[in-house]
Chain A
Amino acid sequence: MERKVIELDQGWDYMQKGITKLKRILEGSVEQFNSEEYMMLYTTIYNMCTQKPPHDYSQQLYDKYKDSFEEYISSTVLPAIREKHDEFMLRELVKRWGNHKLMVRWLSRFFHYLDRYFIARRSLPALNEVGLTCFRSLVCFFRQNFDTFCILIQIDKEREGEQIDKALLKNVLDIFVEIGMGQMDCYEQDFEAPMLEDTGVYYSHKASSWILDDSCPAYMLKSEECLKKERDRVAHYLHSSSEAKLVEKVQHELLVNFSTQLLEKENSGCRALLRDDKVDDLSRMYRLYHKIPKGLDPVATIFKQHITAEGMLLVQQAEDAASNQLFFDSQVLIRKVIELHDKYLAYVSDCFQNHTLFHKAMKEAFEIFCNKTVGGSPSAELLATFCDNILKKGGSEKLSDEAIEDILEKVVKLLAYISDKDLFAEFYRKKLARRLLFERSANEEHVTDLTLAKDNQNEFENYLSNNPNAHPGIDLSVNVLTTGFWPSYKSSDLNLPSEMVRGVQVFKEFYDTKSKHRKLTWIYSLGSCQLIGNFEAKKIEMVVSTYQAAILLLFNTSDRLSYSEIMTQSNLGHEDLVRLLHSLSCAKYKILIKEPISKTVSPNDIFEFNPKFTDRMRRIKIPLPVVDERKKVVEDVDKDRRYAIDAAIVRIMKSRKVLGHQQLVSECVEQLSRMFKPDIKAIKKRMEDLIARDYLERDKENANLFRYLA
């Protein structure tokens, strides 16, 4: 049987009844749809869509579906919302949204048949989407200013400390999210963007007054709290996607905009915090600025400046002491530098979480003041002297092995900052050798050579006892060292006193029996001697250096000698002689009397044996101040550096074949940086030398290019 055709008006009338009933239900009526009513409504749509054209009303029904919503919204929903204010408006909005979703659900069920074929065929949006979009485009679009404005007022109220209905806000914001149907654009454009702007204005205002009134720590505390509160806000009712943007906004207003004023605050800014060791505040500063791009840069700069100033102060104090000829104790200076280092290393790890920026700042600061010369001594030398004192027996420090290791580890860290590392190495080596030779070391391992030297001495003594003819005339013990293992020592042509000549001769004979191919060079400057002085009061045994003994023994043949006579007879140079005579006539023990009496030795002086000399001790040691080895060490190091630069240049050019001048210089500097910082002029000079020796040539066309000559 043919179905009866339903006309559009007719069918729509019937549908309208159903829709109206639905609206009543939404408005609060207790009515319900039973399954029969539901079926009828569904079937009506079905029939009207499946009728043969021109009675196929799919398109019209689709449009009318949409119109139903729009009509309801504009006539009922919008006015309902509009007539309320503030919180109440928001509540109404939430309620209406809930209603709307219900309406969409029911109507799309009634009109479901459209979903099945019509929309796919015409590539139209589904019923659900249409419904929801209506709410959005009409409500959201028109309401955006009012809704959003309402919400923002609530938020600002909460910022000021008032209690607000967080759940309500969450519901409202959920609408924004749901409306997007998978996209966040409604939320972002209609809510988030104005919210961020409002936040910016709010905090900008706060910051401008805080920055004037608050100290840096107080401001930072407030900032930290604000950030925490904003994060909580996100957790309570904002969408999680807003967190990053919100935090960034707040950071920008509070921390970035006023960064300079904050950090540079007169009595409470970064500098003052460092000065007053405010570890907590500095940690907070780090936490706050850590996430901001380049936020830590100014902090690190101030950190570096602070350390540099403190270091320079130490250096300056030491320099002042030295120049006023007050006692300049380099031990104290180095200790203080070590303390400074430990202190700021702790800062870097505790306050600044070992961030590389701060390690770098500290390193650069130390490099600045650790390379200064103090009291004429380069820092490399001071450091070496410090180590020497720690390590030698009877040094100014008496420390346990553990303590020594600890300190030396710290010294190594300081060494990293010194550019003339090779200078340190050379000074250290010289002092090490001296410690070993005079057995003043505190825990040195036996150097093989010294062991050999001891063996040698034992053999010599055996030789003497077996050879009655070989009599040195004096007790003699000799340390034979292998050249090359030890630093080079200068040895002058001392005129050996007759008493010693025989001894040396006998030893030489002994040594020749041991090995015919070795040559002995005597370093008298390192020897020591025990002399017995026959003074009027009593005999006194004097422990002196060989040089001092040589001079004293001259007075065995003459009571009185002039400076020049002593010089000729001993064959020593002015530098040595002045030092020696001073130690014997102007220092604590005046074995010789100097004419004229004064504090310094001059070439016109006359010296006389002092028979009246006495001391309550039977045995005295007459110290000889060590000659300033600094000049020699610097010379040696300069020489080594010349070779090192040559080698570096040749190495680089051999592998590159052709290289520009600036590149060559910079690669050279880099290669040598482990040991020292080469002077650019020195590099140029070595290059010229290498050109003259045909290792390199300058390119004919380009004067800045060099070529390796195989």
Chain B
Amino acid sequence: MERIDNVFYSYANKSSGLIDPEGIEALCSDLEVDHTDVRILMLAWKMKAEKQGYFTLEEWRRGLKALRADNVHKLKKALPELEKEVKRPTNFVDFYSYAFQYCLTEEKQKSIDIESICQLLDLALGFQFRAQVDYFIDYLKIQSDYKVINLDQWMGFYRFCNEISFPDLSNYDPELAWPLILDNFVEWLRAKQT
């Protein structure tokens, strides 16, 4: 326990008592992981970190205890296992949803701008649904109906990737409760295919 706390304080900001973005960067370089790497997001998930870019002591303790790491070296070794854990279907939905909410920086914020969503999609789903993600990102960039994406649409896309056969889209039914943006996305894809 003490060792975990010590590691925490080695990265934390002296005045705020939290690990801030600078500290996270330092941590990342020690872990030999890029700070935009999805594994940091996974780590934040494991810690149930509330604010993007910051870790509190409590969150830190939670995360490292769960990973059974009390130093950076062990933490680094735990990352592959963590990755596997997150990718398990039962956990992944939770992680995916978390990823969205983690990016909400303002207090009453409920949606994320297109630019950031594109990056987040790539990060969170790219490895699993490369084709769908690439096409969707293309679409998001050229459409003008929506300037932001909300949680319902975010989760809808994951459902889309899981349930709809791609690229034929044969089982997509716009009469069902798919978010409108996906209806438009499918229309756009189908027009491209002809």
A residues adjacent to B (C-beta < 8 A): 661-662, 665, 680-681, 684-685, 688, 691-692, 698, 703-706
11 contacts between A and B (CB under 8 A): A661-B176, A661-B177, A662-B175, A684-B183, A685-B180, A691-B150, A692-B111, A692-B150, A698-B177, A703-B177, A705-B177
In the complex, are the beta carbons of B180 and A681 less than 8 A apart?
Answer: yes
The answer, yes or no, to whether B53 is at the interface (CB within 8 Å) is no
**A688-B177 in contact (CB<8A):** no
In the complex, how many angstroms separate the beta carbon of A614 from the nearest chain B beta carbon?
A: 55
B152 within 8 Å of A (CB atoms)? yes
Say yes or no: B176 contacts A662, CB within 8 Å. Answer: yes
A665 to B159, CA, bound (A): 21
Q: Mark B121-144, 1 if CB is under 8 A from A, else 0.
A: 000000000000000000000000
Q: Does B110 contact A (CB under 8 A)?
A: yes
Residues in B46-68 with C-beta less than 8 Å from chain A: none
Q: Which residues of A contact B183 (CB under 8 A)?
A: 681, 684
Q: Mask for B2-32, Cβ within 8 A of A = 1, else 0?
A: 0000000000000000000000000000000
B96 to chain A, nearest CB (A): 14
A680 to B174, CA, bound (A): 10
Q: How far is the CA of A705 from the CA of B175 in the complex (A)?
A: 13
Residue of A nearest to B180 (CB): A684
Report the nearest A residue to B150, measured CB to CB.
Answer: A692
Query: Number of residues in B with C-beta < 8 Å to the partner?
Result: 13
B179 contacts across to A, CB distance below 8 A: 684, 688
A148 to B: closest C-beta gap in Å: 62
A703–B159 alpha-carbon span in the complex (Å): 9
Instruction: State A662–B176 Cα separation when bound (angstroms).
Output: 7
Least distance between A622 CB and chain B CB atoms (Å): 43
Name the CB-closest residue of B to A664: B177
| Cβ of A682 to closest chain B Cβ, rounded Å | 9
Closest to A685 in B: B180
- Taking Cβ atoms with an 8 Å cutoff, the residues of B that contact A are 110-111, 150, 152-153, 156, 159, 175-177, 179-180, 183
Could you tell me the distance in whole angstroms from the C-beta of B74 to the nearest C-beta in chain A? 36
Smallest Cβ-Cβ distance to A694: which chain B residue: B110
Please report the C-alpha to C-alpha distance between residue A335 and residue B156 in the assembled complex, in whole angstroms: 51
Which residue of B is nearest A706, CB measured? B177
Q: How far is the CB of B94 from chain A (nearest CB, A)?
A: 12
User: Which chain A positions have C-beta within 8 A of B159?
Assistant: 703
Report whether A698 and B152 are in contact in the complex, using a CB–CB cutoff of 8 Å.
yes
**A-B pairs, 7 with minimum CB distance:** A661-B177, A684-B180, A704-B177, A691-B152, A685-B180, A704-B176, A692-B150
Chain B: minimal CB distance from A669 (Å): 12
Most B CB contacts (10 A, CB to CB) among A665, A703, A704 go to A703
Q: Which residues of A contact B175 (CB under 8 A)?
A: 662, 665, 680
- For B110, the chain A residues whose CB sits under 8 A away are 692
CB atoms of B176 and A688 under 8 A apart = no
Chain B residues near A692 (CB-CB < 8 A):
110-111, 150, 152
CB distance from B54 to the nearest CB of A (A): 27
Please report the C-alpha to C-alpha distance between residue A691 and residue B153 in the assembled complex, in whole angstroms.
11
**Additional pairs, 8, CB under 8 Å, beyond known A688-B152, A698-B152, A703-B177:** A681-B180, A681-B183, A684-B180, A691-B150, A691-B152, A692-B110, A692-B111, A692-B150
- In the bound complex, residues from chain A placing their C-beta under 8 Å from that of B180 are 681, 684-685, 688
Contact partners of A704 in chain B: CB under 8 A: 176-177
Distance to closest chain B CB from A693 (angstroms): 10
Of the candidates B110, B152, B156, the one having the most CB atoms from chain A within 10 angstroms of its own CB is B152
| Complex CA distance for A460 and B152, rounded to whole angstroms | 60
Q: Shortest beta-carbon distance, A77 to chain B, in Å?
A: 78
Cα A665 to Cα B173 with chains together (Å) = 14
Distance of A681 Cα from B174 Cα, bound (Å): 9
Q: How far is the CB of B182 from chain A (nearest CB, A)?
A: 10
The answer for the CA separation of A241 and B141 in the assembled complex, in Å, is 79
Which chain B residues border A684 with CB–CB below 8 Å? 179-180, 183
Complex alpha-carbon distance, A679 and B179, angstroms = 15
Give the shortest distance, in Å, between A670 (CB) and chain B (any CB). 16
* Chain B residue nearest to A660 in the complex (CB): B177
Contacts of A691 in B (CB 8 A): 150, 152
Residues of B contacting A698 in the complex (Cβ-Cβ under 8 angstroms): 152, 177
